[in-house]
Structure 1
């Protein structure tokens, strides 16, 4: 008799924290200018994307629009170490290393657009449609050297899409002080798959015991808000502050299961013996049943952290009598600038990705097609993150006034995850980044441009960055066990814990031990205009 649980190990490769790269769910920054400065931008905030970064800066801008495209290429690898107590019959001895595996998911471009326009002489309003900056697509192997891939219990495939229509308002309360706020209506869609072990007992063969599970979930309303301030402390120094908070993602969806998906026949392309289950169907994929009702049987909850960023920007104006508080145009007004940003993300609220299914007195009620088992009611993915601190420094030189500027930057973020809960689905290790970029102004805002019906200025910008996730390795300890179908190898679970002290519906051995590395290459191209 085979039973199984549906896991969500790869559920959130990319979370919904927008434009705050210190979040473990995001890599890089939206906007070519921001990326090329390694995210040191909260005090500069000189394009319409300020509506999502620091809305206070909208009050210092002309009417304008900013559109662009982000492209991320990730290389993430995992060398799994077989736990000492792991009795799986897979050809590897406890304590041995499995073959190294890497994510080869194709790049998925993500676009953004933002616009702003003044309202009177001291206020402005902004709009944006953007998603997180990062890697929305991942694909890990199902088989390696003819055997089920070693990382399968953590992740197989994942796609995460997140859009945030945003509206913001800014007001200049003093000549040298602006404040602003923006509100975003987020829409999240996630599809993710991983393997589960049917039975936690000794000597099981993965080809017979493992089942592929896929979760697809949507949350049509994830509200968030950003509050900002921008102060000109004299002609040489700007200070910016931005604070963001968000409701958790609370998504509804369903699960699909594939029994025999790791058998030799399936490996060779013959899926005739694969048995499919689907909780979106009333019969759950097996004729005669009705336990799945109208669907929507999976509930996925991801806590979202608060984020705070403070930045100081030194800039050298071309005009010695430049007055603070006026409309800013750094490529025309400044010789160069240098900004230092400090960030804090309350990642400690991310204790787990919670995945729940229907139950009756603690027992699962959703049957799995092709087995005698049910989907357990609790399939959480432990996170146990720490707060993240980040530092970013970036600067820019206007090498040809009003025509061409070049920028560089660097960043460092502390580690969010811990050895016991490390996972390949989120880049939660310590990160070091370097970045560069440029802006070419095609229309300079001279008298001819101001007299024409076209834009006052027109800029083409590019930003590139490389972010290294520092290698981390867990060689022992409790770790994360694979999901299993029966609660315990023997006996019943009490309050979610087996008699031997292990968590119910988990193997008593860890499947996330080993070494993890990752590097992300980012390219952003943007077009900006003012009127």
Structure 2
């Protein structure tokens, strides 16, 4: 009778572009990579950074997203509510609200700041390193419905307070994922560079959703709802980035690279606890809301991998610094792409291997139980939460125009993301769909400082799920259960088997999912030479 909220991961829910200059180009920056964020995009180009630098950038992301679940409340609670709950009227027909259409529920979470703080050092003319902290370009927090004790999992409508139609998927989340990173780039010959970055991920997650106690004949009866809130922390989520960069012509760059990541709860356990409130919406004197806590809970959540090909053409007005020696640099003028080119244009093709994200698996101590109605009720030791994300093909096109070389640069870009498969387990933690974004930005050089600004609007086409398979846990139901039941087999996850190892209730994720992003960014880079 236990479920936990489905989660988020770094990469899967990201929008294009780490960094301010990079956002202004639509994320098409891997082949250019001329500031410390090369550590993330293309560590091979750390070998070509013209000087030592310090960078501080921050995005502020606004995520507008809604889920419109079709039907009335009565269509999922056909037998009426079993007992008194906070949505029932005091007199007359207490279940009159079951005839209401289920309302659209939208994210009301706060704008998300996303920072990067990095530095780079030139050790030798052909060798450079960078280090610092990066974060995913994604929205780590979201709230679906009301907040406040006794109001989580509810929505306000013109007809009064109603249960959130999407509460079994997700009610609230806060995900903090930071990557302390160090990268190195080496140029063994004029035409080739090789680089590698190691990332030490730190994950702190909090998810809240609801599960059903399994009222017979009415699996979504709010009388039996249990609020569940998972807290988990993993201090070590390793990832690696490898890239190779070649220059077949002084004006042309080609880069290939990729990033792979361990799962949250992979190398080390993501440990925490689970808070539960049984009979959360009940007004029945015999079934009062009861808080419970289960310690020793662990989470394992897969992370996407990424592979990339980037090509760039630059109209150069000066040769690259390594071609003519650093001693030729003009005093107090940084010899980089902003100074040495009229304009450039870049095309990146990115394959997001999101299919690495299958089941999130929560494990509880053997023999764990919760108190409901004054009785101890056992809970499953293993709880899979299927995601089954589909792979995504991304295309990024962008470039810079140096209006006054070495002083003012303008940039613009476009990106699109094409989902190659749609998950039957779609919920609102990561709304997958066809996206395209329009990006603009600029950089102003003042002495040794580069001040950059950028803005992006990212459109997303609506996604409608009609054959969903995400189900609310139900103690008295076996819908979606694998033949013969049995325990959970990590080698045969729910997303592959198409069924659950324990009894589950009705499908709760059919509906229309919509989203769009607005992203503002500002950054500064200081050049030491």
Query: Is contact 2:320–2:340 with CA below 8 Å preserved after alignment?
Result: no
Tell me the secondary structure at the aligned position of residue 109 of structure 1: strand
TM-superposed deviation, 1:466: 1.6
Q: Is 1:480 aligned to residue 470 of structure 2? A: yes
Q: Which of 466, 480, 486 lines up with 1:495 in the alignment?
A: 486
CA displacement, residues 460-488 of structure 1 (integer Å, 9 cap, x when unaligned): 0112112223211123x352111223564
TM-score when normalising by structure 2: 0.83
C-alpha distance in 2 between matches for 1:139 and 1:416:
28
Aligned equivalent of 1:206: 221
TM-superposed deviation, 1:345: 1.9
Aligned equivalent of 2:179: 164
CA displacement, residues 221-241 of structure 1 (integer Å, 9 cap, x when unaligned): 111111112222212111122
Aligned equivalent of 1:71: 60
* Between 417-426 and 115-124, the greater mean CA deviation after superposition: 417-426
C-alpha distance in 1 between matches for 2:321 and 2:125:
19
Aligned equivalent of 2:29: 41
C-alpha distance in 2 between matches for 1:229 and 1:329:
20
C-alpha distance in 2 between matches for 1:175 and 1:158:
48
Q: Which of 134, 138, 150 lines up with 1:134 in the alignment?
A: 138
TM-superposed deviation, 1:428: 2.2
- Which consecutive unaligned segments of at least 5 residues does structure 2 have? 82-94, 146-152, 327-334, 489-497
Aligned equivalent of 2:264: 249
**Distance change in 2, residues 1:502/1:232 (3 Å):** closer
Aligned equivalent of 1:192: 207
Query: Is contact 1:7–1:380 with CA below 8 Å preserved after alignment?
Result: no
Tell me the secondary structure at the aligned position of residue 132 of structure 1: coil
Aligned equivalent of 1:269: none
TM-superposed deviation, 1:8: 2.4
Aligned equivalent of 1:458: 449
Q: Is 1:343 aligned to residue 343 of structure 2? A: no
Q: Is 1:80 aligned to residue 69 of structure 2? A: yes
TM-superposed deviation, 1:143: 1.5
Q: Which of 519, 525, 528 lines up with 2:522 in the alignment?
A: 525
Q: Which of 502, 509, 527 lines up with 1:512 in the alignment?
A: 509
- Which consecutive unaligned segments of at least 5 residues does structure 1 have? 18-23, 266-271, 281-295, 360-364, 444-456
CA displacement, residues 373-409 of structure 1 (integer Å, 9 cap, x when unaligned): 2222232221222222111101111112211111111
Query: Is contact 2:10–2:138 with CA below 8 Å preserved after alignment?
Result: no
C-alpha distance in 2 between matches for 1:487 and 1:326:
73
Aligned equivalent of 2:164: 149
Query: Is contact 1:206–1:262 with CA below 8 Å preserved after alignment?
Result: no
Q: Which of 10, 20, 36 lines up with 1:16 in the alignment?
A: 10
C-alpha distance in 1 between matches for 2:499 and 2:168:
17
Aligned equivalent of 2:459: 468
Tell me the secondary structure at the aligned position of residue 40 of structure 2: helix
TM-superposed deviation, 1:171: 0.8
C-alpha distance in 1 between matches for 2:25 and 2:454:
8
TM-score when normalising by structure 1: 0.83
Aligned equivalent of 2:392: 388
C-alpha distance in 2 between matches for 1:79 and 1:382:
21
Query: Is contact 1:8–1:193 with CA below 8 Å preserved after alignment?
Result: yes
TM-superposed deviation, 1:508: 4.0
Tell me the secondary structure at the aligned position of residue 48 of structure 1: coil
Aligned equivalent of 1:227: 242
TM-superposed deviation, 1:33: 0.7
Tell me the secondary structure at the aligned position of residue 276 of structure 2: strand
C-alpha distance in 1 between matches for 2:244 and 2:479:
57
C-alpha distance in 1 between matches for 2:443 and 2:480:
65
Query: Is contact 2:479–2:503 with CA below 8 Å preserved after alignment?
Result: no
Q: Is 1:370 aligned to residue 372 of structure 2? A: yes
Q: Which of 3, 6, 16 lines up with 1:28 in the alignment?
A: 16
Pairing of 1:214-363 with structure 2 (within 5 A): 214-250=229-265, 251-263=270-282, 273-280=288-295, 296=296, 298-319=297-318, 329-359=336-366
Q: Is 1:420 aligned to residue 435 of structure 2? A: no
TM-superposed deviation, 1:93: 11
C-alpha distance in 2 between matches for 1:205 and 1:114:
49
**Distance change in 2, residues 1:508/1:325 (3 Å):** farther
C-alpha distance in 2 between matches for 1:367 and 1:462:
53
